[in-house]
Structure 1
Amino acid sequence: MRISRIFLIFGTASLCVASAVPRSSKPHSSFKRSDNATNPMFQLSTDADFNFEILRVLSMAPYEGADIGEVLVAAKEIEPGDFESFYNGFNNLALRAEKIARAIDPRRHPVSARNALFKLSNYYRSADFFLHGNWSDPRINALWEKQLSAFNDAMALMTVPGERITIHAKDGGFDIPAIFFGTGLPGRRPTLIACNGYDGSQEEMYHVIGQAALQRGMNFIAYEGPGQPTVRREQNLGFIPEWEKVVSPVIDYALERPEVDGDAIALMGFSFGGYLVPRAAAFDHRAAAIMAVDGIYDFGQSILKHLPEELQQIFSSGDAEKFNAILSKVIADPTTVTSFRWGVQQGSWALKAKTPFEFMTKAQAYNLTGLTDKITTPVFVGDAQLDGFFLGQGKELADHIGGMTTYHQFEAIDGAGEHCAIGATVYQNQVLLDWFEDIIHQPKNCIRP
């Protein structure tokens, strides 16, 4: 296939195919989705990916992760498709927010300081989001250190401060960074253990669902494994398919804590975590409930099937040189849609793949074929009506797991149709955490088969 034709396929002349390259939090580049439903939500950018990422930051406002007006000011500075402008918009916001946050005396005004510092941390993480195409970019670590500093300072001001811990994974030889958030309530409490996905951090999960869990009297543990931001930076490790090597040590740790009710543990996987956590649940059956939000059955095929047929054939033939030559040129072209450029860049960084062919090859290992019948725990599978990223994957996962599954499609008319119901965080948490509470309040002989 001629390279000029590939540019036409992946460039502005054909948005839908390019936008289907997966990422943990990405919609189609077109506002018209493949299920023929039009998105009823107001769009914040003509670039669908930028629209999604801006909405992603806004969605954390109910849980101390953002202020709406501040984010909209940053959004106005962002030029569609311009990765540097996205960095500039949120970095400028973070610099302004830092002046405000650091001027607050935390001894006199601890709540105000905590609010400001949590927002600040999130803004620095957002500034980093589109920078991973160049692994040597010093901003990748510099911004990360700033977000860690702000988040740690904010956690120290919580009524029950969050506690950073390191768990060693003996089967794999890596360390698992985690954060334990306790309720401060007496006795053993239900506990939600959650991981993010393809591009998100454990700190983000506090704003996604952690604070909502604490409000309901549940402990919350966020963690990261290989490929995720902390482990990728500090241990130079890419993702591994065998996520049970990550989850089992975290459960071991949770069961040692006196605040944790070992019969009332839920595991949640967010976005790409919708593959990771069900995979772990096939091997470790100690949790009372599993949440895959949104569910993913076959990550590798969901990427591959959206490439043009001729490019699929090149990949399947094993012609790495030709595949890399085509995709490298496409990714380098600034007119190629954001989702495709970013999807391959982030995937290569997170899976620690040096070429597009290596990335695509590694991605094929992330599927649950032959494993779903080993899951013996009740599973909530979330799905999104307009998910142009993993459309159909949630239903496929639910169908393969079968009778242990509660399948829930989040609808666009409720503002919840984007991948992981981004923009409807309060509503999604209501559905998820009510379901978990119902599970743990059932008689034990009704919970597990």
Structure 2
Amino acid sequence: MFHYNKIIMKKGTYQLHDEPNFNFQLNRTIMWGGGDLEEIRAIAPRINTTEDWVREMTNLAERAKENHQISKAIGYYRMAEFFEADGSPDKSKLYAKSQSLFYTYYQDLFNTTIRRDEVEFENGKLPVWIGLPDTEIKDTVIIHGGNDSYMEEFLPVVQHLLSEGIAVYLFDGPGQGAALRESEIYYTYEWERPVKAILDQYNLNDVTLIGLSLGGMLAPRAAAFEKRIKRVVAWGIMPDFYEVVLSKVPKELRILMDLGEKEQVNTLIQKKMEADPLVKWALQHGMFSMNVKTPYDYLNKTRKFEMESIGHYITQDFLLLGSNGDHFIPVELYKRVIDALPNVRSLTYKMYTKSDAAENHCNFGNTELVLNDIIHWMLQAKNKSATALN
């Protein structure tokens, strides 16, 4: 049973694992997945592979469920599913458990405050949550995640926005959450298409679009071609997904990609996947979500996931949010985003640091701070625009 005071935003970043991505995902489990710090700290030393991760998270989920700690069980099942191999029966089972528990536990909320809906797209459906505040609507936000998100982990974000008088339309787009897992809608770089479907379905105008992580590239891309978006928030520095993916690989691989040496690229990556379980997971997930068969094809497809070539079409108010301790995105890429935006109405850039407890990817250590900054910025931008029109 849902109770409002159970949704709280935690603050802090913790050193729980020597491997940066495992460490980040453990923090993510605590901050956005309802995980318990001491429980996570206890299992961290036992995690060396993705198989270890799945086992330990599943054990935590089962124990939490047996102890009727359902909010924790939801997050643990979700994060167990996270590193399970895409397409496997176990992944589907873990996903189903997390989803079933989530919508049962929060059924009162979805009967009273947030409406679940679906929007037809291609040969499937995009899941949508619609939240309308009880008070006067100060702004309307469309929000989506990135490469490996699913909408249910955004519940605290939605609740916070609603409490501030913001109407919210949250959706899983192609390659994300239920759109991928239930409708087999794979990733597209043409993000204006799913955003247009949302805008058309609900007859929305004058909205703020927020995209996290890879969404920091997708949202600007949508804004370039959809002018019903008046304000865009790139919650993550992502000028070019291909460049981000290649930022941590040997230069040899980049050269081989430029030469189009498909077999050599696949051989090189296969060796890397065999030696590094997290590289294996990342490549397998990427190939699954983009519906390609080889690592070369995946890397080649990520080339289209960029906003620099179309940045001059973006004319909205633009907020760029970065973090100086991001384990995934090189912080210096912020300049490429800024340089790609010569025609925006206004540009605001903020870099979060350890002193904010928000230095990690997507600032998971202090979501409330970042949300408050976003709300302040978008209402200020909206008011300035209204004043200018008058």
Do they superpose with TM above 0.5? yes
Correspondence for 1:234 among 182, 196, 215: 182
Which residue pairs with 2:334 in the alignment?
Answer: 394
Correspondence for 2:36 among 64, 68, 79: 68
Superposed, 1:250-329 pairs within 5 Å as 250-255=198-203, 262-263=205-206, 265-329=207-271
In 1, Cα distance between equivalents of 2:93 and 2:61:
13
In 2, Cα distance between equivalents of 1:125 and 1:44:
19
Which residue pairs with 1:11 in the alignment?
Answer: none
Gaps of 5+ in 1: 1-39, 102-115, 257-261
**SS state of the match for residue 441, structure 1?**
helix
Which residue pairs with 1:181 in the alignment?
Answer: 131
Structure with greater helix share of residues: 2
In 2, Cα distance between equivalents of 1:217 and 1:186:
6
Instruction: Assess if the C-alpha contact under 8 Å between 1:58 and 1:423 holds in 2.
Output: no
* 1:395 Cα deviation from its structure 2 partner: 3.3
**SS state of the match for residue 289, structure 1?**
strand
**SS state of the match for residue 203, structure 2?**
helix
In 1, Cα distance between equivalents of 2:189 and 2:334:
18
Higher relative contact order (CA closer than 8 Å, sequence separation 6+): 1
Instruction: Assess if the C-alpha contact under 8 Å between 2:124 and 2:184 holds in 1.
Output: no
Which residue pairs with 1:56 in the alignment?
Answer: 28
1:198 is aligned to 2:147: yes
TM-score, normalised relative to structure 1: 0.78
In 1, Cα distance between equivalents of 2:363 and 2:354:
9
Letter of the 1:131 counterpart = E
Which residue pairs with 2:51 in the alignment?
Answer: 84
* 1:174 Cα deviation from its structure 2 partner: 4.1
**SS state of the match for residue 119, structure 2?**
strand
Letter of the 1:394 counterpart = Y
* 1:41 Cα deviation from its structure 2 partner: 5.5
* 1:117 Cα deviation from its structure 2 partner: 4.2
Letter of the 2:48 counterpart = G
* 1:349 Cα deviation from its structure 2 partner: 1.9
Instruction: Assess if the C-alpha contact under 8 Å between 2:223 and 2:316 holds in 1.
Output: yes
Instruction: Assess if the C-alpha contact under 8 Å between 1:395 and 1:407 holds in 2.
Output: no
Superposed, 1:156-175 pairs within 5 Å as 156-158=107-109, 160-169=112-121, 172-175=122-125
Instruction: Assess if the C-alpha contact under 8 Å between 1:128 and 1:140 holds in 2.
Output: yes
Which residue pairs with 1:128 in the alignment?
Answer: 81
Closer, same or farther: CA 447–322 of 1 in aligned 2, 3 Å: farther
Which residue pairs with 2:193 in the alignment?
Answer: 245
Q: Deviations over 1:14-51 (max 9, x none)?
A: xxxxxxxxxxxxxxxxxxxxxxxxxx954111222111
Closer, same or farther: CA 445–187 of 1 in aligned 2, 3 Å: closer
Aligned residues: 374
Instruction: Assess if the C-alpha contact under 8 Å between 2:137 and 2:166 holds in 1.
Output: no
Correspondence for 1:365 among 280, 292, 304: 304
Instruction: Assess if the C-alpha contact under 8 Å between 2:234 and 2:321 holds in 1.
Output: yes
In 2, Cα distance between equivalents of 1:283 and 1:157:
38
* 1:330 Cα deviation from its structure 2 partner: 1.6
* 1:66 Cα deviation from its structure 2 partner: 0.9
Which residue pairs with 1:374 in the alignment?
Answer: 313
RMSD of aligned residue pairs (Cα, Å): 2.3
Which residue pairs with 2:3 in the alignment?
Answer: none
Correspondence for 2:101 among 127, 133, 150: 150
Q: Deviations over 1:125-177 (max 9, x none)?
A: 11111113xx34212111111121122123322283422211113xx454211
Q: Deviations over 1:381-410 (max 9, x none)?
A: 101112232223333212321452111111
Q: Deviations over 1:326-379 (max 9, x none)?
A: 21122122xx273x3332222122212211111111111111233111112111
**SS state of the match for residue 247, structure 1?**
helix
Correspondence for 1:94 among 41, 53, 61: 61
Q: Which region of structure 1 is more displaced relative to structure 2, 139-148 or 431-440?
A: 431-440
Instruction: Assess if the C-alpha contact under 8 Å between 2:14 and 2:27 holds in 1.
Output: no
In 1, Cα distance between equivalents of 2:48 and 2:259:
32
Gaps of 5+ in 2: 1-11
Closer, same or farther: CA 127–267 of 1 in aligned 2, 3 Å: same
Letter of the 1:359 counterpart = Y
In 2, Cα distance between equivalents of 1:156 and 1:372:
41
In 2, Cα distance between equivalents of 1:362 and 1:279:
16
Instruction: Assess if the C-alpha contact under 8 Å between 2:138 and 2:379 holds in 1.
Output: no
Q: Deviations over 1:59-92 (max 9, x none)?
A: 23xxxx41534xx314422434321221122212
Closer, same or farther: CA 270–97 of 1 in aligned 2, 3 Å: same
Closer, same or farther: CA 390–131 of 1 in aligned 2, 3 Å: same
* 1:189 Cα deviation from its structure 2 partner: 5.2
